[in-house]
Amino acid sequence: MRHTFACSLVVKGGLIGGAVIVDGDALTYRTGKLTVDPKFRNLELPRKDISGISWKTVVFPIATVTMAGGEEYRFMIFNKGGFEKAYAEEDKA
């Protein structure tokens, strides 16, 4: 089952509003902003390549997704509890 959460991708120089989609195969960040680097417009992070997700709260919760290759992506996710529940449910599926 797909779950969609409003979020912002944290990049050098600011935030890019969009949504993160949680499903059994990947976390996918999408934005419709045309001025954004094409790499980030439809960023797919396969679950098999995610080595961990850590949280930090600075006014809003920020999730750091660490990939097996060492890359890190930061997302300001506005519904942390819902995201964690959806991510855990997809692990079981």
The token pair at 58 is 């600075």
The total domain count for the chain is 1
3-state helix, strand, coil in the chain (%, to 5): 20, 55, 25
List alpha helices for 1-93, DSSP H: 38-41, 80-92
Which residues form the domain of 14?
3-92
What is the helix (H) or strand (E) element at residue 55, kind and residue range? strand 50-58
Q: What is the pLDDT of residues 32-79, one digit of tens each?
A: 998 888 989 999 999 999 999 999 998 899 999 999 999 999 999 999
pLDDT, position 77: 95
Rounded distance between C-alpha atoms, residue 86 and residue 81, angstroms: 9
**pLDDT band at 93, cuts 50/70/90?**
low
pLDDT for position 12: 87
Q: Is the pLDDT of residue 92 over 90?
A: no
What pLDDT is stored for residue 35 in this prediction?
A: 87
Location of structure tokens 């599926």: 93
pTM recorded for the entire structure: 0.91
CATH number at residue 37: 2.30.29.30
